[in-house]
Amino acid sequence: MFPFCFEWAWDIGHAIFFGGLWYAVSILGAGMTYCIAKAAYDTIKDDGDSHH
Amino acid sequence: MKIDRRSFLGLGLGAAAGIAVSPVGVKLTDDSSIWTQNWPWTPVPEDGEISYENSVCSLCPGSCGISVRKIKNRPVKIEGLDEYPVNDGGICLHGIAGLQYLYDPARVKSPMRKNGDRFEPISWDEAISLVSGKLADVRDSGAPHTLGLISGGAGGSVTALFKRFLDAFGSPNVYAMPSLEDNLSLTAATLHGAGNTIGFDLENADLVLSFGAGLIEGWGSPMACFKANSARRDRHAKLYQIEPRLSNTAANADRWIPIKPGTEADLALGLCAVLLKKNLFTPGEFFGGFNRFAAVVQKEYAPEKVEAVTGVKAADIEKLAVAFAKAKMPVAVPGKGRGDHGQNLKEFAAVQTLNALAGRLNKEGGAFVMNPDSYLAFPEASMDDAAEAGAGQEKSVGSVNELVDTLNASAKPVLNALFVYNANPCYTLRDTKRVKEAFKKVPFVVSFSSFMDETAMASDVILPASTFLERLEDVPTGGGLAKTVVGLTRPMVNPIFDTKNPGDALILLAQAMGGTIAESCAWDTYDECLEEVAGDIWDALSEDGYAVVSEGAPMGTPGTDFSFLASNPASVQAGGNGDLLLVPIDNIRLAGTAPASTPFAVKTVSDRVLSGTDIVVEINPETAKGLKDCGYAVLITSQGKARVKVNFNEGIMPGVIGMVKGLGHTFDNPYVAGKGVNVNDLIGPVIEPGSGMDAAFGIKATLSKA
Amino acid sequence: MIQNTKAHKFGMVIDLDKCTGCGSCMVSCMAENNVPFKEDESRKKDSITWMRVYKLTNGKSFPDTEVVYMPRPCQHCSGLGDHGHSPCVSVCPATATDYGYDTGIVSQIYTRCFGCRYCMGACPYHARYFNWWDPTWPEGMESYLSPNVSPRMRGVVEKCSFCYHRYQLAREKAYVEEREIEENEYQTACTTACPADAIIFGDLNNPAHQVHQIVKPDPHPDPRNHKVVGKSRNPKVFRLLERLGTNTKVYYMSEREWVRKAGDSYLDGEWDEVKNHHGSSSSHG
Amino acid sequence: MDSALIPEGAKRCPFPKFMLGMAIVGAVLLWGVYAMFLCWFKGLNQTNMDDYYGFALWIWADLAVIAVGGGAFFTGLLKYIFKIDELKNIINFAVIIGFICYSSALLILAIDIGQPLRGWFIFWHANVHSMLTEVAFCLSCYFAVLTIEFIPNILENRQLNKVSFFHHLAHNMHGVMAVFAATGAFLSFFHQGSLGGVAGVMFGRPFAFREHILIWPWTFFLFTWSAAAFGPCFTLLVTKITEAITGKKLVSDKTVNLLAKISGWMITTYMIAKIIDTVYWAQVTAPSMGFTLDHFYSNNAFYGYWILFAEIIVGGVVPGLLLIFKKTRENPIALLTAITLGVIGVCLNRWVMVLQIMAVPVMPFDTWALYIPSWQEVATTILPVAYGIMLIAVSYRYLPVFPQELELNKPAQATE
Amino acid sequence: MSEIENKTENGSMDGAGECAAGEPKDDKGLGLGVIFFLGAFLICFLSGWLLFPKLLYSKHEQPFNFDHKLHTEEAGDCESCHFFREDGTFSGIPDLASCMECHTDEPMGDTEDEAIFAEEYVAKEKEVPWFVYSRQPDCVYFSHAAHMMGENAKGKMDCKTCHGPIGESTTSRPYEENRLTGYSRDIWGKNIWGIKKNSWDRMKMDDCADCHVEMDGHKGYCFQCHK
């Protein structure tokens, strides 16, 4: 599943399969990171507001 | 409150994160999977230097050459020995699985004495003094002839040593289990004079007319037969198989001629009749009423009459006879299945007579009348008066089956002591109940078995024998082979348990007995004894591992005595009652006699033969009224009843039930015993007058829905 | 995939007219390859026998019945169009079985297999067996196990390897003697054990080898079915389920037509069309 | 504690009654867990599988739950990508059901393999040519998606939502849900398909093998299609059951009928494709390997033409037709019949594509193999059902799963 | 561990204080949470990196010290003790018999190690239970012949490449065994991540593969190295 795995080969099969897979995974990762980061930011902002 | 919760939350998350970015997770995931790859409870065989040693297998009279592969002197595989004069590399599944016998769960691990109905281990010294003491009593009581011996078919010096021991002891009561060897010698004695036996040159015959001989079911020297049979196609030779069931031999043959069970002799005589009638026979040195014989067979065994008895078309009988006479190198072979149990002299004689009429005696590709002058040269046994007296005596009875009956019949013991070597009569002889009864009638039974089998369990003392992989022994080929080869079984490992070569056990006994018996067995070890008595062939044995004693067609043509057949002996009929006939089946994958099969052998058995713990019997669908294929049924004979499964088989004659031999063992080996029933429990013996053979080829039976 | 120029293609031809069904091959295989055994082995569907002998009949009734025995090791398929994508190799998710392009042998790596059993479902010959139980031997009997074949743990699939370890041993000897291995140096355990000499083993790519001379494999795809490559040009020789395109390397031989027909499924009338058709280019033979 | 967690204004059964129910289902769950550990520690000899049945009840259960769990990705696709806003009323529940189905599938797989501790080899040592590899990857990834889709609903719990971080997180996740849904749809397309591929690529098994388009056999597309078609049926069925148990109306008929209608058209179109596939397979593919249709449906005690009829007509054409016509669709009885038949139909299809494949003899001298699962197999297969019931009960009790619940049950509340 | 406990106690106390103070809790609570987070993180992180590897491997001393250097000087190159058998198989660690081709139960030198050898093993005819650093698991088939002999062995390899300069060692280092897998640590490599500097630092399948790719252009087929 990684280029350093024994079975990995730089062939079309791996390119298509893991290309698609890692693409999907990165979207999910990015999405979640964004949500968590934004949530944290919003939270702190709210607190900031509540002090005034 | 809240803060606490958050602190703990922080704590937990922190710990998790800390572990996550350390090698712990990765390493444990990896190592736990590697752990499953090296589970401590999955054995890892030790590696080491590979070596090969040659020996000879003595599990059956075949005596095949074997090559044992060892790792660091640890045997790991048995294979056929290339260019060995008997099997040339071929080997049967029992031989290959031989190593399983070494560690068989039923091995007798040390000498045993029966105490009540349980066995307790004793030392060899105790065992020897115990047995020699008992024997001394027997001898001193003035009845040395009441010591008996039942031994398995195989020849060789160990069996000879047993006979020698009994001679010196003063008893003629030596009995062999029914075997093809003995049946052939008896036939030869009847037709060509005593001291002879018959060998069939299957390697060169161009037409083999087999009267049910299971040439690839374990008949005679099995691997030699296999080799000859498979070479047959390249030689454009033919095999005609005459038997009621499509056995593997019949399936492999060029022609299968179904015949009613037990009527082989009639067909053989029918063929003789045709040869005589059509004057297709080759005159030879025929005596003992040849003309009377000619008249009798042409009258009593005319094709039409034979058709009525055997079910083989008269026309086919004529054709078959002509084909046999016209063939260049035909040979007729007797002995249904493995040719040991359930045979009759009439058939053997009739078939051999066919060979004689066709002028096939001592011709290449024919039947050899051989005089296997023993290669064994024992020094003169020293005899005291008791021995002389005993030697003078007649054997109590003719055959082991008759012995069993006499033991049961007479109130006072016929035998006071009994040796059993290389045989399992309590399993192998017909009507085993009867045999076990007989054993109870003998006050003192000594078994020389390697395994706690049915007979060992019925004995009082066991002097456990080392297996063929743990001992030195000479093993001559037997059973219908056209040549005589003596092989040397060599120890491949030191005895795994506290066992001895029966030869050594016997020598120890003799020494303990003292006197002339000791003198007659004046060797320190059996190995020494063998080296001396093997005489001329010892060098060949020890160097090449085998010696060819006789090969090729013997000189001259022996005469043939027709008096036995001219008297037109009656054919044996199946006993019991019922509308069906139960016949035993010899299956190469199951050992029918001693020793029992290995776990591997049983594993190969079809689920159409053994299903769970149920034995499966073969019947023709036409016979199976109201029964279901693979369904249960109850099989009843005059001897007993058994719950069986049925297997519809178009390859068996309607009206016949086929049940495999070699199942239904009752000793302690979960891989082999406790499976199915022993066909010998269901069939009773029928002694053929004169020959004393148990000629029961089957028994009448009924089969009904369970 | 790399195609070794002087690649071997080990295969087998079994003469069903010689086979006696004696079972020596089965036991020789078990003894050679450390195959375990259980108390009840009559449930053939969970009884590990890399080499299994099937009993075939011509279906006729007494006395015209005929019987033939068919030994069935792993068929070592080279797959559709002979590209090495055998039914089992192509489906294994963890690459625990692969096709050796240098030998044509289909491997099975027990320590890699995690027991999903997809390969067993994909194999129409039932040549693959699962270790439902931990392998056990009666006390002391482990000491006959051979170090040349690794005993399998519970929960993995195993199958016939054409006794690859024998190939390895033969090669080691050849290496030190600086030579190639001989035909007789690498023979499977079933081949050497067969007392009827019914099994012939060797390199299908090597014209000097007996197996090649008997089979005369057709290098070209079968014009009637392009999935099929290596069809025998010997009219007596056939393969099991050849028309599926598994392209097995175990060939069978028989004089009897009904036996050859029993090797595959045919629609009504099909057999008579194909029975006399042996490879695209019989002239090559 | 309990009351503090229950969504505002929602009425729930008394806590003890709730716990009693949970205890009963929990007992069943424990039974399954016991069987599960038997299989893990003693090995798969605990099952009735054998060398002919390497795939059996468990793999069927996997394929079945994933098929019926397809409602989640398809409803999500419609809601977030095709912007069919009406479906917001059922999307939460669809997601929960999907979550249950997929977590169950993964659990069953973990029991089914002979070497669970090596399970990760399928990822690490992946053979990209194997359909099962594709299944494993897409399955686990899509399960991640479902978890992501489930989280906001959890965070909307009365107490959790008070935590401002969680509140914001839920809000933001709703914001980008379309992206997740799209990814989920993509992944689902492939793992549903590759599950079909598992059977379709077995060229040694004429009963399973199908012609290919590029690298994918027909079954690849049929499986995706059928999951999308029958998944919603299951979502609706579970909704109806939940309504029956809670005695409340939870989803408006408008939403139900809409989803039913879409499902109906999907089923009908799928059935057309399936019938074409079956005919082509029976007339061309199988015969080219020497097999007639009769071979697959005769000479055995169980598999007859009835199963083909039951799958295609009773479990396919009938529900399809019942759902596309307004009259039948809006008749509660007909609707219930349709969705029930639909669910049975798709499960039957998965059964055929797993167990009948193993049963059909391929070698001419081979025989049919039939099999009956052991109690351990049955227990481990029921285990996810118990787990599902419990998760739904808890979610329904403490989470605002059904946006329409309050308004639909207003009259009821007014009377109190 | 105890540290953690202390922390928690402090934590809860502080927390109580905060409550009393009645200050806005969210940020402080979060702040505290962060502290705990960091604390726990550090402990687990460090023990994961430092403690865990120690626990994972067990150390064994060899039966007695073996001086390779001395032996190579006396007896010649590696092959003189680690020789090929006639059938091409590799003898590996010499057995007592081959040692006794030179040794007797009378020590030749005066090291106490040899004395142990002579008394404990030669005299008692007991094989020496060496721990083999390079022992591969049972599933691995490795042919020394294939790598060192015959025209097939591309660029006949020397022992060093895989076994390192063990021939120059004068003492036997302790043998480390993975408690879970039973593997010699040399197989996975000293470094917990299996990072290697020399060709002989690791003996995993990947290391075989690297060389095979170089020599044959591909990693090879399963059966080439597995049994």
E15 touches B: beta carbon within 8 Å: yes
What is the structure's pLDDT at B374? 80
Q: Which residue has the tokens 């195609």?
A: C3
**Residues on chain D touching A7 (C-beta within 8 angstroms):** 125-127
Of the pLDDT bands very low, low, confident and very high (cuts 50, 70, 90), residue B392 is: confident
Q: Are B156 and B474 in contact (CB under 8 A)?
A: yes
Q: Are D255 and D93 in contact (CB under 8 A)?
A: no
Nearest to E153 among C96, C103, C175 (CB): C175
What is the structure's pLDDT at E154? 63
D204 touches C: beta carbon within 8 Å: yes
Q: Which residues, in sequence order, are CB contacts of C56 under 8 Å at separation 6+? A: C67, C68, C69, C70, C259, C262, D365
Check whether D414 has a pLDDT greater than 80. Answer: no
**Residues on chain D touching B35 (C-beta within 8 angstroms):** 117
Give mean pLDDT, residues B114-123: 95
Q: Are D335 and D301 in contact (CB under 8 A)?
A: no
E177 touches B: beta carbon within 8 Å: no
How far apart CA B324 and CA B243 sit, in angstroms, is 17
Of the pLDDT bands very low, low, confident and very high (cuts 50, 70, 90), residue B3 is: low
Q: Do D126 and A6 touch (CB under 8 A)?
A: no
E165 touches C: beta carbon within 8 Å: no
Q: Are B547 and B540 in contact (CB under 8 A)?
A: yes
Q: What is the pLDDT of residues B307-327, one digit of tens each?
A: 999 999 999 999 999 999 999
Could you tell me which chain D residue has the CA closest to the CA of C157? D114
* Structure ipTM over 0.85, yes or no: yes
**Residues on chain D touching A44 (C-beta within 8 angstroms):** none
Q: Do C141 and B103 touch (CB under 8 A)?
A: yes
In this structure, the number of other CB atoms found within 10 A of the CB of residue B39 comes to 13
Check whether E10 has a pLDDT greater than 70. Answer: no
Q: Do B22 and E49 touch (CB under 8 A)?
A: yes
Q: Do B38 and E182 touch (CB under 8 A)?
A: yes
Q: How many Å lie between the alpha carbon of D125 and the closest alpha carbon of chain C?
A: 5
Check whether B528 has a pLDDT greater than 90. Answer: yes
Q: What is the pLDDT of residues B685-697, one digit of tens each?
A: 999 998 999 999 9
Q: How many Å lie between the alpha carbon of C195 and the closest alpha carbon of chain B?
A: 4
**Residues on chain C touching D365 (C-beta within 8 angstroms):** 54, 56, 70, 262
Nearest to B35 among E53, E89, E181 (CB): E181
Q: Three-class SS of residue B476?
A: strand
What is the structure's pLDDT at B404? 95
Q: Do C175 and E88 touch (CB under 8 A)?
A: yes
Q: Which residue has the tokens 């067609």?
A: B553
Chains touching C, CB cut-off 8 Å, 3+ pairs: B, D, E
Average pLDDT, chain D: 94
How far apart CA B337 and CA B335 sit, in angstroms, is 6
What is the structure's pLDDT at D2? 84
Q: Do D141 and A34 touch (CB under 8 A)?
A: no
How far from each other are the two terminal CA atoms of chain C, in whole angstroms? 29
How far apart CA B548 and CA B689 sit, in angstroms, is 37
Check whether B459 has a pLDDT greater than 80. Answer: yes
**Residues on chain E touching A3 (C-beta within 8 angstroms):** none
Nearest to A47 among E27, E206, E209 (CB): E27
A12 touches D: beta carbon within 8 Å: no
Q: What is the pLDDT of residues C108-136, one digit of tens each?
A: 999 999 999 999 999 999 999 999 999 99
Q: What is the pLDDT of residues D52-64, one digit of tens each?
A: 999 999 999 999 9
Check whether D135 has a pLDDT greater than 60. Answer: yes
Which chain D residues in 206-235 lie under 8 Å from chain C, judged by CB atoms? Answer: 206
- Taking the alpha carbons of D149, D151, D156, D158 in that order, is the dihedral positive or negative? positive
**Residues on chain C touching E149 (C-beta within 8 angstroms):** 175-176, 178
Per-residue HEC secondary structure of B595-644 comes to CCCCHHHHHHCCCCCEECCEEEEEECCCCCCCCCCCCEEEEEECCEEEEE
Q: Do D121 and B33 touch (CB under 8 A)?
A: yes
Average pLDDT, chain C: 93
C21 touches B: beta carbon within 8 Å: yes
Optimal mutation site among B28, B36, B39, interface D, most CBs of chain D within 10 A: B36
What is the structure's pLDDT at E3? 37
Query: Phi and psi (nearest 5°) for C239?
Result: -125, 160
In this structure, the number of other CB atoms found within 10 A of the CB of residue B348 comes to 28
Q: Do D43 and C118 touch (CB under 8 A)?
A: no
User: Which of A46-50, B31-35, B161-165 is the least confident region?
Assistant: A46-50
Percent of chain E with pLDDT over 90: 55
Check whether E171 has a pLDDT greater than 60. Answer: yes
Among the listed residues B269, B290, B193, the one whose alpha carbon sits nearest the alpha carbon of residue B563: B290
What is the structure's pLDDT at B393? 82
Record the tokens describing residue B341, joined without a space: 């149990």
Q: What are residue C208's DSSP bridge partners?
A: none
Question: Are 3 or more Cβ–Cβ pairs between B and A shorter than 8 Å?
Answer: no
Check whether B186 has a pLDDT greater than 50. Answer: yes
What is the structure's pLDDT at C280? 56
**Residues on chain D touching A35 (C-beta within 8 angstroms):** 169, 172-173, 175-176
Chain C with chain D: Cβ pairs closer than 8 A = 153
Among the listed residues B700, B679, B573, the one whose alpha carbon sits nearest the alpha carbon of residue B637: B700
Q: Are C75 and C246 in contact (CB under 8 A)?
A: yes
Check whether E21 has a pLDDT greater than 60. Answer: no
Give mean pLDDT, residues B667-675: 96
Give mean pLDDT, residues B395-410: 92
Q: What is the pLDDT of residues B334-347, one digit of tens each?
A: 999 999 999 999 99
Higher pLDDT residue, B4 or D39? D39
Give mean pLDDT, residues D128-140: 93
Q: Do E41 and B4 touch (CB under 8 A)?
A: no
Q: Do E33 and B50 touch (CB under 8 A)?
A: no
Q: How many Å lie between the alpha carbon of C106 and the closest alpha carbon of chain D?
A: 16
Q: What is the pLDDT of residues C132-189, one digit of tens each?
A: 999 999 999 999 999 999 999 999 999 999 999 999 999 999 999 988 899 999 999 9
Give mean pLDDT, residues A27-34: 95
Q: Do D120 and B35 touch (CB under 8 A)?
A: no
Nearest to D180 among A18, A28, A36 (CB): A28
Q: What is the pLDDT of residues D48-91, one digit of tens each?
A: 999 999 999 999 999 999 999 999 999 999 999 999 999 999 99
Q: What is the pLDDT of residues C237-248, one digit of tens each?
A: 999 999 999 999
Q: Which residues, in sequence order, are CB contacts of B389 under 8 Å at separation 6+? A: B144, B170
Optimal mutation site among E142, E223, E224, E226, interface C, most CBs of chain C within 10 A: E223
Q: Do B35 and D117 touch (CB under 8 A)?
A: yes
Nearest to E222 among C109, C165, C173 (CB): C109
Average pLDDT, chain E: 83
**Residues on chain B touching C198 (C-beta within 8 angstroms):** 230
Q: What is the pLDDT of residues D206-223, one digit of tens each?
A: 999 999 998 899 999 999
Check whether E23 has a pLDDT greater than 50. Answer: no
Which DSSP symbol is given to D47? S
How far apart CA B132 and CA B129 sit, in angstroms, is 5
Q: Are B11 and C127 in contact (CB under 8 A)?
A: no
**Residues on chain D touching A50 (C-beta within 8 angstroms):** none
Q: Which residues, in sequence order, are CB contacts of D5 under 8 Å at separation 6+? A: D157, D158, D159, D397, D398
Higher pLDDT residue, B23 or B456? B456
Q: Do C168 and E143 touch (CB under 8 A)?
A: yes
Record the tokens describing residue D37, joined without a space: 């550990």
Check whether E8 has a pLDDT greater than 60. Answer: no
Q: Do E24 and A51 touch (CB under 8 A)?
A: yes
Q: Three-class SS of residue D173?
A: helix
Q: How many Å lie between the alpha carbon of E14 and the closest alpha carbon of chain A?
A: 21
Q: Do B607 and C42 touch (CB under 8 A)?
A: yes
**Residues on chain B touching C143 (C-beta within 8 angstroms):** 74, 103
Of the pLDDT bands very low, low, confident and very high (cuts 50, 70, 90), residue C284 is: very low
